[in-house]
């Protein structure tokens, strides 16, 4: 059984989802792929211990502090996506990596060559955003490529973590840093 609750973040409402043992989802309401891996029989249960732990983590995060160890996560997806999402969990707070960096790390672990484009697809479908920090992944030229929650939120999350925004570029016209 899946359980959900809403978290009111400074960047908009977030839906959290748990299977009772681990976090399975964290989506900005209305974002691309919102709740894509959530069971249709999910029930609202704000008192779920995993959801309570995730809300505490998010409270610290949005206060501008490194919240430390992530809550238990069990995102649903293919074996390749699981490999990519595990690499996301290793990205330190306030640091950036490229899609190519992740592809090389997976190749080093598995012996199988993976493209940065394939990694990008998996990153884009990350069902536990922020906690599995897909916003910390940038293009090879340090460009802020897409973010399912919107490029403005990606920028806000990176600024919150103290990333020097002068070291990245935004390919979309009209987006202010």
pLDDT at 175: 46
Q: What is the CATH number of domain 3-62?
A: 3.30.160
Q: State yes or no: is 134 an active-site residue.
A: yes
d(CA 95, CA 10): 21
pLDDT at 176: 47
For the chain, where do the domains classified as CATH 1.10.10.10 start and end?
A: 79-167
pLDDT at 82: 97
Condensed to tens digits (0 to 9), the pLDDT of residues 154-174 reads 999 999 999 999 999 986 554
CATH T-level assignment (fold) for domain 79-167: Arc Repressor Mutant, subunit A (1.10.10)
Q: Which residues of 25-44 are buried (b: 16+ CB within 10 A; e: fewer)?
A: bbbbeebeeebebbeeebee
Q: Do the Cβ atoms of 73 and 22 come closer than 8 Å?
A: yes
CB proximity list for 98: less than 8 A, separation 6 or greater: 116, 137, 138, 139, 140, 142
Which phi and psi (to 5°) does residue 160 adopt? -60, -35
Condensed to tens digits (0 to 9), the pLDDT of residues 86-136 reads 999 999 999 999 999 999 999 999 999 999 999 999 999 999 999 999 999
pLDDT at 4: 95
Q: Out of 14, 16, 51, 134, which one is annotated catalytic?
A: 134
Identify the weakest region by mean pLDDT among 30-39, 61-70, 153-162.
Answer: 30-39
For the chain, where do the domains classified as CATH 3.30.160 start and end?
A: 3-62
């Amino acid at each position: 059984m899946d359980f959900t609750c809403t978290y009111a973040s400074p960047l908009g409402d977030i839906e959290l989802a748990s299977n009772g043992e681990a976090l399975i989802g964290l989506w900005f309401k209305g974002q691309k792929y919102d709740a894509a891996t959530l069971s249709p029989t999910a029930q609202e249960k704000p008192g779920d211990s995993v959801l309570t732990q995730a809300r505490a983590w998010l409270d610290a995060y949005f206060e501008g502090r490194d919240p430390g160890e992530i809550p238990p996560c069990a995102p649903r997806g293919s074996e390749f996506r699981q490999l990519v999402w595990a690499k996301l969990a290793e990205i330190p707070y306030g640091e950036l990596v490229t899609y190519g960096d992740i592809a090389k790390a997976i190749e080093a672990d598995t012996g199988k060559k993976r493209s940065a484009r394939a990694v990008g697809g998996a990153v884009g479908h990350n069902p536990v955003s922020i906690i599995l920090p897909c916003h910390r992944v940038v293009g090879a030229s340090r460009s802020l490529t897409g973010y399912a929650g919107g490029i403005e939120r990606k920028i806000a999350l990176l600024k919150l973590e103290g990333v020097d925004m002068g070291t990245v570029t935004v390919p979309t016209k009209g987006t202010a840093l």
